[in-house]
Amino acid sequence: MKQTTPRICQILIRQGHVLYQLSVERAKFASSLRIVQVQQNIKVAVDAIVFGYAESTLHVLLIKQKFGSMKNTWVLPGGFVKDNESLAEAVHRELKEETGVELKYLEQLYTFGDVARDPRARVISVAYFGTVNPETIDLQPTTDAEDARWFPVNEIPKLGFDHEEIIYVARERLKAKLSYQPIGFELLSSEFPFSDLENLYKTILSSDAVIDRRNFRKKIMSFGFVEETGEVQKSGSGRPAKLFRFNHSKYRRLCKQGIVFDIKFV
Protein backbone atom coordinates (compact mmCIF):
# COMPACT_ATOMS: atom_id res chain seq x y z
CA MET A 1 0.00 0.00 0.00
CA LYS A 2 2.87 2.32 0.83
CA GLN A 3 4.45 1.62 -2.60
CA THR A 4 1.33 2.24 -4.66
CA THR A 5 0.35 5.58 -3.08
CA PRO A 6 3.12 7.68 -4.76
CA ARG A 7 2.30 6.07 -8.12
CA ILE A 8 -1.35 7.00 -7.80
CA CYS A 9 -0.38 10.54 -6.91
CA GLN A 10 1.84 10.77 -9.98
CA ILE A 11 -0.99 9.56 -12.21
CA LEU A 12 -3.39 12.12 -10.73
CA ILE A 13 -0.86 14.90 -11.19
CA ARG A 14 -0.34 13.98 -14.84
CA GLN A 15 -4.10 13.85 -15.44
CA GLY A 16 -4.51 17.23 -13.77
CA HIS A 17 -1.80 18.68 -15.98
CA VAL A 18 -3.51 17.30 -19.09
CA LEU A 19 -6.85 18.72 -18.03
CA TYR A 20 -5.24 22.08 -17.38
CA GLN A 21 -3.65 22.10 -20.86
CA LEU A 22 -7.01 21.20 -22.40
CA SER A 23 -8.72 24.06 -20.59
CA VAL A 24 -6.05 26.47 -21.82
CA GLU A 25 -6.51 25.30 -25.43
CA ARG A 26 -10.27 25.60 -25.12
CA ALA A 27 -9.91 29.16 -23.87
CA LYS A 28 -7.65 30.06 -26.79
CA PHE A 29 -10.10 28.51 -29.25
CA ALA A 30 -13.05 30.34 -27.70
CA SER A 31 -11.11 33.59 -27.83
CA SER A 32 -10.43 33.10 -31.55
CA LEU A 33 -14.18 32.76 -32.15
CA ARG A 34 -15.07 35.88 -30.23
CA ILE A 35 -17.31 38.16 -32.34
CA VAL A 36 -15.74 41.48 -33.19
CA GLN A 37 -18.05 44.35 -32.39
CA VAL A 38 -18.40 46.67 -35.43
CA GLN A 39 -19.78 50.14 -34.99
CA GLN A 40 -22.23 50.99 -37.79
CA ASN A 41 -24.58 53.86 -38.38
CA ILE A 42 -25.71 53.22 -41.95
CA LYS A 43 -29.11 53.98 -43.45
CA VAL A 44 -30.61 52.20 -46.46
CA ALA A 45 -32.54 54.09 -49.14
CA VAL A 46 -34.10 53.31 -52.50
CA ASP A 47 -34.26 55.42 -55.67
CA ALA A 48 -36.52 54.95 -58.71
CA ILE A 49 -35.45 55.73 -62.28
CA VAL A 50 -38.56 55.82 -64.47
CA PHE A 51 -38.07 56.36 -68.20
CA GLY A 52 -40.77 57.65 -70.51
CA TYR A 53 -40.92 58.34 -74.24
CA ALA A 54 -42.64 61.43 -75.63
CA GLU A 55 -42.22 63.62 -78.71
CA SER A 56 -39.57 61.21 -80.06
CA THR A 57 -37.41 61.80 -76.98
CA LEU A 58 -36.49 59.66 -73.98
CA HIS A 59 -37.52 61.28 -70.69
CA VAL A 60 -36.80 60.58 -67.02
CA LEU A 61 -39.10 61.35 -64.08
CA LEU A 62 -37.73 63.74 -61.44
CA ILE A 63 -39.09 65.41 -58.31
CA LYS A 64 -38.23 68.71 -56.62
CA GLN A 65 -37.41 68.32 -52.94
CA LYS A 66 -39.72 70.20 -50.59
CA PHE A 67 -37.69 69.99 -47.36
CA GLY A 68 -34.18 69.61 -45.95
CA SER A 69 -30.73 70.40 -47.26
CA MET A 70 -31.85 69.52 -50.81
CA LYS A 71 -34.89 71.81 -50.78
CA ASN A 72 -35.78 73.04 -54.32
CA THR A 73 -33.28 70.61 -55.83
CA TRP A 74 -34.34 68.12 -58.51
CA VAL A 75 -33.69 64.49 -57.61
CA LEU A 76 -34.94 61.01 -58.39
CA PRO A 77 -38.03 59.76 -56.52
CA GLY A 78 -36.95 57.76 -53.50
CA GLY A 79 -36.36 57.69 -49.77
CA PHE A 80 -35.45 55.62 -46.75
CA VAL A 81 -36.52 52.00 -46.30
CA LYS A 82 -38.76 51.35 -43.32
CA ASP A 83 -37.89 48.62 -40.80
CA ASN A 84 -40.93 46.53 -41.72
CA GLU A 85 -40.72 46.59 -45.53
CA SER A 86 -38.64 45.01 -48.26
CA LEU A 87 -36.57 47.00 -50.74
CA ALA A 88 -39.14 46.40 -53.49
CA GLU A 89 -42.00 47.50 -51.24
CA ALA A 90 -40.08 50.63 -50.28
CA VAL A 91 -39.34 51.76 -53.84
CA HIS A 92 -42.93 51.24 -54.97
CA ARG A 93 -44.20 53.15 -51.92
CA GLU A 94 -41.82 56.08 -52.41
CA LEU A 95 -42.60 56.32 -56.12
CA LYS A 96 -46.34 56.42 -55.47
CA GLU A 97 -46.07 58.87 -52.56
CA GLU A 98 -43.86 61.36 -54.36
CA THR A 99 -45.24 61.18 -57.92
CA GLY A 100 -48.52 59.26 -57.88
CA VAL A 101 -46.99 56.71 -60.27
CA GLU A 102 -47.71 53.02 -59.76
CA LEU A 103 -45.75 50.51 -61.85
CA LYS A 104 -46.29 46.77 -61.85
CA TYR A 105 -42.59 46.04 -62.15
CA LEU A 106 -39.35 47.82 -61.30
CA GLU A 107 -36.05 46.07 -61.92
CA GLN A 108 -33.23 46.31 -59.41
CA LEU A 109 -30.39 48.18 -61.08
CA TYR A 110 -27.40 48.66 -58.79
CA THR A 111 -26.33 49.57 -55.27
CA PHE A 112 -24.65 52.94 -54.76
CA GLY A 113 -22.57 53.29 -51.63
CA ASP A 114 -19.99 56.03 -51.95
CA VAL A 115 -19.21 57.33 -48.47
CA ALA A 116 -19.91 60.97 -49.37
CA ARG A 117 -22.91 60.42 -51.69
CA ASP A 118 -25.43 61.86 -49.20
CA PRO A 119 -24.57 64.93 -47.09
CA ARG A 120 -27.16 64.00 -44.44
CA ALA A 121 -25.66 60.72 -43.27
CA ARG A 122 -23.96 57.51 -44.37
CA VAL A 123 -26.58 56.23 -46.81
CA ILE A 124 -26.52 53.25 -49.16
CA SER A 125 -29.05 53.47 -52.00
CA VAL A 126 -30.46 50.54 -53.94
CA ALA A 127 -31.68 51.82 -57.32
CA TYR A 128 -34.55 50.40 -59.37
CA PHE A 129 -35.64 51.33 -62.89
CA GLY A 130 -38.69 50.89 -65.07
CA THR A 131 -40.41 52.20 -68.20
CA VAL A 132 -43.85 53.69 -68.80
CA ASN A 133 -45.79 55.67 -71.37
CA PRO A 134 -46.07 59.22 -69.91
CA GLU A 135 -49.42 59.73 -71.65
CA THR A 136 -50.94 57.16 -69.28
CA ILE A 137 -49.61 58.87 -66.15
CA ASP A 138 -51.13 61.68 -64.10
CA LEU A 139 -48.31 63.05 -61.95
CA GLN A 140 -49.37 63.89 -58.39
CA PRO A 141 -46.45 65.06 -56.23
CA THR A 142 -47.08 64.69 -52.49
CA THR A 143 -45.24 64.10 -49.18
CA ASP A 144 -41.74 65.62 -49.50
CA ALA A 145 -42.02 66.34 -53.26
CA GLU A 146 -42.78 69.95 -54.21
CA ASP A 147 -43.11 69.07 -57.89
CA ALA A 148 -42.82 66.09 -60.25
CA ARG A 149 -41.95 66.45 -63.90
CA TRP A 150 -40.67 64.60 -66.98
CA PHE A 151 -37.32 65.82 -68.31
CA PRO A 152 -35.66 64.89 -71.61
CA VAL A 153 -32.58 62.84 -70.70
CA ASN A 154 -30.36 65.32 -72.55
CA GLU A 155 -31.84 68.33 -70.71
CA ILE A 156 -31.64 67.19 -67.10
CA PRO A 157 -31.08 70.00 -64.55
CA LYS A 158 -28.37 69.81 -61.92
CA LEU A 159 -29.34 67.00 -59.56
CA GLY A 160 -28.78 66.34 -55.88
CA PHE A 161 -26.81 63.47 -54.38
CA ASP A 162 -25.23 61.15 -57.00
CA HIS A 163 -28.39 60.93 -59.08
CA GLU A 164 -26.73 61.96 -62.33
CA GLU A 165 -24.50 58.91 -62.03
CA ILE A 166 -27.50 56.69 -61.22
CA ILE A 167 -29.37 57.88 -64.32
CA TYR A 168 -26.29 57.24 -66.47
CA VAL A 169 -26.03 53.66 -65.21
CA ALA A 170 -29.76 53.15 -65.80
CA ARG A 171 -29.51 54.44 -69.39
CA GLU A 172 -26.64 52.05 -70.10
CA ARG A 173 -28.68 49.15 -68.71
CA LEU A 174 -31.66 50.20 -70.85
CA LYS A 175 -29.48 50.28 -73.97
CA ALA A 176 -28.11 46.81 -73.24
CA LYS A 177 -31.55 45.31 -72.62
CA LEU A 178 -32.90 46.49 -75.98
CA SER A 179 -30.78 43.90 -77.78
CA TYR A 180 -32.16 40.91 -75.88
CA GLN A 181 -35.57 41.89 -74.47
CA PRO A 182 -38.48 43.82 -76.06
CA ILE A 183 -38.78 46.34 -73.25
CA GLY A 184 -39.60 49.36 -75.40
CA PHE A 185 -43.27 48.53 -75.90
CA GLU A 186 -44.24 49.88 -72.47
CA LEU A 187 -43.07 53.28 -73.71
CA LEU A 188 -45.34 53.36 -76.76
CA SER A 189 -49.07 53.76 -77.19
CA SER A 190 -51.11 50.56 -77.28
CA GLU A 191 -51.29 50.96 -81.08
CA PHE A 192 -48.40 52.50 -82.99
CA PRO A 193 -46.92 52.85 -86.49
CA PHE A 194 -43.81 50.72 -86.94
CA SER A 195 -41.74 53.87 -87.49
CA ASP A 196 -42.41 54.83 -83.83
CA LEU A 197 -40.77 51.59 -82.69
CA GLU A 198 -37.76 52.24 -84.93
CA ASN A 199 -37.43 55.80 -83.63
CA LEU A 200 -37.72 54.60 -80.04
CA TYR A 201 -34.84 52.16 -80.47
CA LYS A 202 -32.73 54.78 -82.19
CA THR A 203 -33.47 57.33 -79.46
CA ILE A 204 -32.54 54.99 -76.62
CA LEU A 205 -29.37 53.74 -78.28
CA SER A 206 -28.17 57.27 -79.15
CA SER A 207 -28.95 60.05 -81.58
CA ASP A 208 -26.31 58.80 -84.04
CA ALA A 209 -27.32 55.13 -83.89
CA VAL A 210 -27.80 53.46 -87.26
CA ILE A 211 -30.56 50.88 -87.66
CA ASP A 212 -30.93 48.74 -90.75
CA ARG A 213 -34.66 49.46 -91.08
CA ARG A 214 -35.45 46.56 -93.42
CA ASN A 215 -33.68 43.91 -91.35
CA PHE A 216 -34.94 45.43 -88.09
CA ARG A 217 -38.56 45.21 -89.23
CA LYS A 218 -38.06 41.69 -90.59
CA LYS A 219 -36.44 40.51 -87.36
CA ILE A 220 -39.07 42.04 -85.08
CA MET A 221 -41.97 40.68 -87.11
CA SER A 222 -40.39 37.21 -87.25
CA PHE A 223 -40.93 36.73 -83.52
CA GLY A 224 -44.70 37.00 -83.93
CA PHE A 225 -45.51 39.13 -80.88
CA VAL A 226 -45.86 42.35 -82.90
CA GLU A 227 -48.99 42.17 -85.02
CA GLU A 228 -50.97 44.40 -87.34
CA THR A 229 -54.20 45.84 -85.99
CA GLY A 230 -55.87 46.22 -89.37
CA GLU A 231 -56.11 49.97 -88.75
CA VAL A 232 -54.09 52.83 -90.17
CA GLN A 233 -52.85 56.10 -88.74
CA LYS A 234 -54.86 58.87 -90.36
CA SER A 235 -52.76 61.96 -89.97
CA GLY A 236 -51.00 64.29 -92.34
CA SER A 237 -51.20 64.33 -96.11
CA GLY A 238 -48.90 61.37 -96.71
CA ARG A 239 -49.68 57.72 -97.12
CA PRO A 240 -51.54 56.33 -94.05
CA ALA A 241 -49.27 54.15 -91.91
CA LYS A 242 -50.35 50.73 -90.69
CA LEU A 243 -50.81 50.43 -86.93
CA PHE A 244 -49.30 47.64 -84.87
CA ARG A 245 -49.67 46.37 -81.30
CA PHE A 246 -47.58 44.30 -78.92
CA ASN A 247 -49.10 40.93 -77.96
CA HIS A 248 -48.00 40.49 -74.33
CA SER A 249 -49.60 37.06 -73.84
CA LYS A 250 -47.97 35.66 -76.97
CA TYR A 251 -44.61 37.03 -75.89
CA ARG A 252 -44.94 35.34 -72.49
CA ARG A 253 -45.82 32.03 -74.16
CA LEU A 254 -42.80 32.30 -76.45
CA CYS A 255 -40.55 33.02 -73.47
CA LYS A 256 -41.70 29.80 -71.80
CA GLN A 257 -40.84 27.94 -74.99
CA GLY A 258 -37.34 29.40 -75.00
CA ILE A 259 -37.43 32.29 -77.46
CA VAL A 260 -34.11 34.01 -78.12
CA PHE A 261 -34.71 37.73 -78.68
CA ASP A 262 -31.52 38.90 -80.34
CA ILE A 263 -31.44 42.20 -82.22
CA LYS A 264 -28.27 43.29 -84.00
CA PHE A 265 -27.59 46.92 -84.88
CA VAL A 266 -25.31 48.45 -87.50
Indicate the pTM of the whole model. 0.81
Asked if the model's pLDDT at residue 69 lies above 90, the reply is no
Residues 225-265 pLDDT 10s = 899 998 988 766 667 889 999 998 888 888 788 777 777 66
More confident residue, 227 or 5: 227
> Bigger pLDDT: 209 or 39?
39
pLDDT tens sequence across 81-110: 999 999 999 999 999 999 999 998 899 999
Residue 220 has pLDDT above 60, yes or no: yes
Task: Look at residue 35 in the predicted model and tell me its pLDDT.
Answer: 60
pLDDT for residue 145: 93
Q: What is the pLDDT of residues 137-149, one digit of tens each?
A: 999 999 889 999 9
pLDDT tens per residue across span 170-198:
999 998 888 788 777 889 988 999 999 98
| pLDDT above 70: residue 10 | no
Q: What is the pLDDT of residue 162?
A: 96
C-alpha span between 34 and 36 (Å, rounded): 6
- The pLDDT, as a whole number, for residue 180 is 80
* pLDDT higher than 70, residue 121: yes
pLDDT score, position 150: 97
CB 173 within 8 A of CB 196: no
Of 60 and 1, the structure prediction assigns the larger pLDDT to 60
Q: How confident is the model at residue 79 (pLDDT cuts 50, 70, 90)?
A: very high
